[in-house]
Structure 1
């Protein structure tokens, strides 16, 4: 784990951490409301590999109202950020009927269609309007 974080920029605390997480999403063309975080302990990012990690005090559940989707964010979230995509994502689950399949890949269609795609290891793929994940949603 320490190897993955080597050379990373780290921001501590809710205010600094959240600001940093949002700036990373913005820089890579991802919706700013994608990671509704609470009680952030630490956010880190290794620019050379795209590896990002987020530590929060406890698991957070967020309801994206526009798409009526409940999403769970573990106290530790990790993944690799690249242009319009987060891959090898860990710590994020979306409620699907009675199940909570882990989301492991998020990508925005290119050329832009206003859609964002979520994939789980279980092979479930869902596409939603990007604005459902705008800041403040």
Structure 2
């Protein structure tokens, strides 16, 4: 049964359809709330919405997915519908997210980042059990979108911005492990 009713959808401040825009908006909202942008790595998101007055957020994906956070070695399952109430540095009343601890899948109900920042993020269960990890384990290091980016240690070429017949001056990219500036051609 869906927690997102037609009434909630009608009161939504923002509502989007399609994976690309929902990925972008969910990462933006997490960042805006002071949370790591890689916290909800859902796949094939069909719908997302946000009710600004209450902080209610929902994300619907085609099928449940599993993601392994490599830096902490933890697998996490995401149901087809993930809902929560967000506020600065905190996600409350979270539904649709479970993590594996030993051999059991444990439901998560709250996530928060320490304020003032200590570099730790804490995950709580409905029973009050909790575990903290480094915030950096949930950050997505985004490649440079214009110019050149980097994938591992390999150079990759992205889109080039063009003004008239010239490439845009000053775009920054990465070559190997060094930052490089793209000169006007």
TM-score for both structures, normalised by structure 1: 0.96
Structure with the largest fraction of helix: 1
Query: Which protein, 1 or 2, shows the higher relative CO under an 8 Å CA cutoff with sep ≥ 6?
Result: 1
- Does the residue aligned with 1:25 lie in a helix, a strand or coil? helix
Offset at residue 7 of structure 1 (A) = 2.3
* Alpha-carbon distance between aligned partners in 2 of 1:108 and 1:2, rounded to the nearest angstrom: 32
Flag structure 1 segments of 5+ consecutive residues without an equivalent.
none
Residue 122 in structure 1 maps to residue 127 in structure 2: yes
Query: Which one has a bigger Cα radius of gyration?
Result: 2
Offset at residue 123 of structure 1 (A) = 2.5
Offset at residue 136 of structure 1 (A) = 5.1
- For each residue in 1:34-84, what CA deviation from the matched residue of structure 2 results, as whole angstroms up to 9, or x when unmatched? 000110000100111100000000111000001000000111000000000
Match among 71, 77, 80 for residue 76 of structure 2: 71
* Alpha-carbon distance between aligned partners in 2 of 1:123 and 1:49, rounded to the nearest angstrom: 23
- Does the residue aligned with 2:85 lie in a helix, a strand or coil? strand
- For each residue in 1:80-107, what CA deviation from the matched residue of structure 2 results, as whole angstroms up to 9, or x when unmatched? 0000000000000010111111100000
Residue 98 in structure 1 maps to residue 142 in structure 2: no
TM-score for both structures, normalised by structure 2: 0.71
